[in-house]
Structure 1
Amino acid sequence: MANTPQSKKRARQNERRYAVNKARRSRIRTFLRKVEEAISSGDKEAAAAALRDAQPELMRGVTKGVLHKNTAARKMSRLSSRVKAISA
């Protein structure tokens, strides 16, 4: 339990930051899910459009510290290769 004023303040800040980061992660997952659904439906145009929408969200997650840079790059790479493979 937080006892000192500083530790109480840090606990409040952590709660606030946790809520913000949770919302950011949820938003990123939503964009990624839209890409996944478009890929599974087999619609290449929709999948490409969803991927274009998801890319800035992933990068924003990196700049905000929610995702690691390599994690976002890996997700983008794997999704783009799957979108590219739809037409084949």
Structure 2
Amino acid sequence: MSGTTYDLLVELLATRFQVDRADISPDATFEDLDVDSLLLTELLLVVESELGVEISEDAASPQDTVRRAAELIEAQSAKAEK
């Protein structure tokens, strides 16, 4: 997992979705952060816009960790670069 992608997720969660930065960790699930499936979909759309990467709406679930989401985004970025 790249620090850059993880850092982007932390920044978006804290600034756009008002998640307390102190609660965010690589192993925190979106459920732990009170991010439901609708907010998660919105987060993924923002990431798509920021990074220019296409991510399926159902690619991540509230049970996934922030680390897992960062890895997913990186995998999609790598596919897009090919």
TM-score by length of 2: 0.32
Bigger relative contact order, structure 1 or 2, given CA contacts below 8 A and separation 6+?
Answer: 2
TM-score by length of 1: 0.30
Larger CA Rg, structure 1 vs 2? 1
Query: Structure 1 or 2: larger helix share?
Result: 1
